[in-house]
Amino acid sequence: MKLALTFASVLALGAYAIPSQAEAAPKCGLNTGQAATGKPIIVGGIHGNAAPGDFSASTDAAKAYFDCVNANGGINGRPIDYRVENDQWNPELAAQAASKLVKDAGAVAMVGNGSFMEMAVNAATYKQEGIMAMASACAISECFESSNIVSTNQGPLPSNLGATQYAQEELGTKNVGCIGLNIPNNGPWSCQVSIDYMKSKGGDGSMALLNPSAPDVNSALLEAISNGADTILMNLPAGLAIAVLKAAEEQGLRDEYKWIAPTPLYDLSVPKALGDYWDGHVYVNAELAPFQVGGPDAKNWIEVMDAYAKPEDPRDTFAQSGYLSATYFTKAMLEMDPADLDDRAKVTAKIKSIAGYKSDLMCGPYYVGDADFHMPNHAGYMLKIENGGFTIVRECYEFESAYFDKHIALEKELGLR
Amino acid sequence: MVGSKFFNWCLYLGLMAAIILLLTWGKPHKIVGLFFVSGLAVGSLYALGGIGMVVLYRATGVLNFANGAMGAAGVMTAWQLGEWGVWPPLTWLSAIAVALVLSVGYGRFIAPALAWREPVVKAVATLGFALIILGLVSYLWIDDPRKFSLPTDKIGVRILGLRVTVTRLIVLAMSVGIVVLIHQYLTRTSIGLHMRALANNRDVSALIGIPILRTETIAWGISGVIAGFTGLMFGDLIRLEPTVITFMVIPSIAAAICGRLESLGLVLIGGLSMGVIESLLTLSPYLKSVRPIAPFIIAALVLLYFQRGRRLSFGGAD
C-alpha cells in the first residue's frame, strides 16, 4: 500500500540520513565526484504506467543512474537531460510521447523504455527518425524484431523457452501447456517457440490464450490440462499467474503437473502471495542475475538506487534492466568524440556499433549491431520458489532454439563467439 | 401473462441446455464437469452483480456502473486489514462496510442532485464515480502480486468426482438466497412496496407521500452490501485486481439486461447461464476466441426477443 510505503520511506530516510556518509558511494560514468555543468544532452524515455500495470521501474532506474552520472562529471562535463513520458497504455499517447521527445525535444537517443504499447506504435518512428531506443522492459515482438530498438531485458519469448528447456531437461516434461495473453505480438508469439522446442525434443505442446480482460483464468488452466499438458507454463504477468496457481490449488492439481514460469513471477512478493502450498513446486526463469548473486554491477545498482532513486521506486528486474541500459548508453557516449554528442546520426551509429559490453547482471555480452532484429540477452538463470524466497537451481545457461540462429550468426560476425 | 412468462423461461432454459449439450458433446465427463463448475462460479458472480444493479435500478432508476469499483475498494480494504493482522471476520465485514459506505454516500449526497435527469445521465455519473474509486484504489494499492483467500477455500466437497470448494457453494447459494430474500422483501414489507411504487412511477410516488430519499437510501444500501459481498467473492475466486473487479460490472450489466432490468429470477438464470456457456466455449476450438463476448451476445438475443414492439429497457419508460 502506497501509504504504508510512504510512511516506511520517511522512516527509512530518517534512519539512513546520518550513516549514509559511511555507505559505499556508487560508481557512475567518469566518477569524478564533480557535477556536470555543460550543455545538456537530451535523452528520452517512455514507460507505461496506468491500471492495470506499472512499467515505470525501468525509467526510474535509468534516471537514477543518469543523475549519478551528472553528479560525477556527466558525459565529459555535459549532463544528461533525461526526459520521461508516460504512455498510460494508450497508443495515441505513446505516439505523442515519441513525437514530443524525438521530434520536438530532439533527443539523441531513447533509454530505459518500458511498455506493452509504445514499441509497437513507435518502432517505425524510431526507424524513420534514425534514433535508437535502448529499451529495458519489453514484452512484445516489435521490441525484438525492429531495426531501431534493442532491449536489455529478454521479454517473454526467451524466458519462456528457458523455463521450458529446464523443465524438459530436469523435470521430465513431455508436453507443455503455455497459458498466455491473447495478444498476437505477445502470447502466441512467445508461446510458439517453447512449443516448437518441445516438438524438436520429441515432446508436444499447446497454448491456451487468455483474453486480458476476461475475468476467468480458470478456463485457461483447464484448457491447458484438457490439451494433455503435463507441465503448465504461465506466460502471464504475476497477478494473472498467481490467479492461475490459486485455481490449481483449489482443484488440488499441484502434484499432478509441473509448474514453470518466465521472469514476471520473479518478484520477491510472489512466494508470500502464493503461500506454503506452492513452496518447492514452482520454477521461475530469471532473465537477469537474481538478487542474491551480488556481483559488482548488482551492488552498484543497489547503491545507485539508494542514493539517487526514490525509496519507493521498485528494486526489481525491470529496474536492473533500466540501470543496465543507462550504463551501456553512458559507456558508449563516453567513447564518442565529445563534438559528436548532439549529432543523432552519429549517436545512433555508435549505439549500433556496441559489441561485447559485459555486466555481472547479464549472462552474456551485450551488443546491438546493424540488423532488423535485436535480442542480445538470451541466456538466464533458473530459480525455484523455496522457503519463502527463490533459490537458484541452474546458473547461467543459454537457451536453445532455431529462433536464435540469426542472433548467433550476428554474434559471430561481431566476434562475440 | 403468467403462461407467457413460463413459456419464455422454458424457452430460454431449453435453448441454454441445447447450447451446453452442443458444446460438450463427445467431451470427457470430467473435463466438462471442471468447466461447468468453473463457469457456474463466474456466472454466480455475474448474477450477483446484476442483482445488485437491478434492485437499485428498480427503486431509483439509476443503472449503477460503480458497483464493481465499490466491491474492488471493499476487497482491497479486506486484504490490507488481513495483511495488518486484523481478525479475518472483521476484514470480511470491512469489505462489505466499505462498499456500503461508498454506495450510500453516493446515493445520499450525489444521486439526489441528478434525480430528475435522464437515466443515461444518471448512469454516466456512476461511471465517473467508478473511475474516481478505481483511481483512488490504484493509487493506494500499487500494482503488486497479491492473493486473497477465505478459509472456505480449503474445504472442498466431491460432486460427481469434482472438487468444489465451499466458497463456490456459498456464492451459488447466496446468489439464489439473495434473489429469494429480496423478492420477499419487496413483496412483504412497506419499504419494498415503496420501492415498487418508485419503480412504477416516481412522480406519482412523490405526490402520494412516499419517503423517496429514505427509500432510495435503503436501496443504495442493499446494492452496496451486495456489491461488497460480490467484490469479496470475486477477489477470492477470480483474482485480486481492482481493475478487473471494477469492470466485472460489464458482464453483470449483460446479466441484468437478461432480466430486462426487472426480473431478479431471470437475472440469476441469465448470469449463471452466461458464466457456464462462456466457460464451456473454451472446449470448442472454433468458438473459444469469442468467449469474452458470449454474455453480450446472449443479452442482445434476449433483448431482441423481449423487445418485439415493447418498451426500451435502458430508458425505463417510453
The interface pTM score, or ipTM, of the predicted complex is 0.74
Name the average pLDDT for chain B: 87
Residue A255 corresponds to which amino acid?
D
Query: With 50 as the cut, is the pLDDT of residue B93 above it?
Result: yes
- The residue with greater pLDDT, A15 or B314, is B314
Which chain A residues are Cβ-neighbours of B41 within 8 angstroms?
218
Residue B236 Cα, gap to closest chain A Cα (Å): 9
Task: Among A239-243, A334-338, B109-113, name the most confident range.
Answer: A334-338
Q: Predicted confidence band at B312 (pLDDT cuts at 50, 70, 90)?
A: low
The reported pLDDT for the residue numbered B17 is 87
* Three-state helix/strand/coil letters over chain A: CHHHHHHHHHHHHHHHHCHHHHCCCCCCCCCCCCCCCCCCEEEEEEECEECCEECCHHHHHHHHHHHHHHCCCCECCECEEEEEEECCCCHHHHHHHHHHHHHHCCCCEEECCEECCHHHHHHHHHHHHCCCEEECEECCHHHHCCCCEEECCCCHHHHHHHHHHHHHHHHCCCEEEEEEECCCCCHHHHHHHHHHHHHHCCCEEEEEEECCCCCCCHHHHHHHHHCCCCEEEEECCHHHHHHHHHHHHHHCCHHHCEEEECHHHCCCCHHHHHCHHHCCCEEEEECCCCCCCCCHHHHHHHHHHHHHCCCCCCCCHHHHHHHHHHHHHHHHHHHCCHHHCCCHHHHHHHHHCCEEECCCCCCCCEECCCCCCCCCCCEEEEEEEECCEEEEEEEEEECCCHHHHHHHHHHHHCCCC
- The residue with greater pLDDT, A370 or B3, is A370
Quick check: bond before A52 cis, omega within 30? yes
Strand partners, B165: B156
Residue A251 Cα, gap to closest chain B Cα (Å): 6
The reported pLDDT for the residue numbered B305 is 81
With an 8 Å Cβ cutoff, is A398 touching chain B? no
- The residue with greater pLDDT, B38 or A416, is A416
Query: With 70 as the cut, is the pLDDT of residue B316 above it?
Result: no
Query: With 90 as the cut, is the pLDDT of residue A81 above it?
Result: yes
CATH topology of domain B35-306: ABC transporter involved in vitamin B12 uptake, BtuC (1.10.3470)
Query: With 50 as the cut, is the pLDDT of residue A22 above it?
Result: no
The reported pLDDT for the residue numbered B1 is 54
Grid cell at residue B262: 426487472
A408-417 per-position pLDDT tens digit:
999 999 999 8
Task: Answer whether A219 sits within 8 Å of B141, measured CB to CB.
Answer: no
- Its CATH class, for the domain covering A27-154+294-377, is alpha beta
Residue bearing cell 562475440:
A416
Nearest residue to A300 (alpha-carbon basis) of A312, A286, A289: A289
With an 8 Å Cβ cutoff, is A92 touching chain B? no
Grid cell at residue A165: 528447456
A372-410 per-position pLDDT tens digit:
999 999 999 999 999 999 999 999 999 999 999 999 999
DSSP string, B235-258: HHHT---HHHHHTTHHHHHHHHHH
List all residues 6 or more positions away from A146 whose beta carbon is below 8 Å from its beta carbon: A119, A123, A126, A127, A372, A373, A374
Alpha-carbon torsion (B118, B119, B121, B122), positive or negative: positive
A262-279 per-position pLDDT tens digit:
998 998 889 988 999 999
Residue A245 Cα, gap to closest chain B Cα (Å): 10
Q: What is the mean pLDDT of residues A189-208?
A: 96
CB B53 within 8 A of CB B74: no
In this predicted structure, which of A22-26, A215-219, B246-250 has the lowest mean pLDDT? Answer: A22-26
Searching chain A, which residue's CA lies closest to the CA of residue B36? Answer: A219
Strand partners, A390: A385
Which chain A residues are Cβ-neighbours of B38 within 8 angstroms?
216, 218-219, 222, 247
CB B191 within 8 A of CB B215: yes
Residue B238 Cα, gap to closest chain A Cα (Å): 6
What is the percentage of chain A residues whose pLDDT exceeds 70? 93
CB atoms within 10 A of CB A15: 10
Q: Predicted confidence band at B239 (pLDDT cuts at 50, 70, 90)?
A: confident
B-facing residues of A in 249-268 (CB < 8 A) are: 249-252, 267
CB A360 within 8 A of CB A349: no
Which chain B residues are Cβ-neighbours of A213 within 8 angstroms?
244, 247, 292
Q: What is the mean pLDDT of residues A169-173?
A: 97
Task: Answer whether B238 sits within 8 Å of A243, measured CB to CB.
Answer: yes
Nearest residue to B100 (alpha-carbon basis) of B229, B250, B233: B229
Name the average pLDDT for chain A: 90
CB atoms within 10 A of CB A9: 15
Query: With 80 as the cut, is the pLDDT of residue A206 above it?
Result: yes
Q: What is the mean pLDDT of residues A274-298?
A: 93
Q: What is the mean pLDDT of residues B105-110?
A: 94
Alpha-carbon torsion (B115, B121, B122, B125), positive or negative: negative
What CATH superfamily is the domain A156-286+380-413?
Response regulator (3.40.50.2300)
Nearest residue to A209 (alpha-carbon basis) of A244, A183, A239: A183
Task: Answer whether A211 sits within 8 Å of B288, measured CB to CB.
Answer: no
Q: Please give the Cα distance from B146 to A20 (Å, whole number).
A: 33
Q: What does DSSP say about strands A80-86 and A114-115: parallel, antiparallel, or unpaired?
A: unpaired
Residue A5 Cα, gap to closest chain B Cα (Å): 10
- Burial letters B251-289, b for 16+ CB under 10 A, else e: bbbbbbbbbbbebbbbbbbbbbbbbbbbbbbbbeeeebe
Domain ranges of chain A: 27-154+294-377, 156-286+380-413
CB A97 within 8 A of CB A87: yes
In this predicted structure, which of A337-351, B52-66, B100-114 has the lowest mean pLDDT? Answer: B52-66
Q: Predicted confidence band at B47 (pLDDT cuts at 50, 70, 90)?
A: very high
Query: With 80 as the cut, is the pLDDT of residue A326 above it?
Result: yes
* Minimum-distance CB partner of A222 among B38, B140, B144: B38
By residue count, chain A amounts to 417
Q: How deeply is A307 buried, as exposed, middle or buried, from its count of CB atoms within 10 A (0-12, 13-18, 19+)? A: middle
CB A235 within 8 A of CB A262: yes
Three-state DSSP class for B3? Answer: helix
Grid cell at residue A377: 540477452
Grid cell at residue B117: 435527469
Query: With 70 as the cut, is the pLDDT of residue A141 above it?
Result: yes
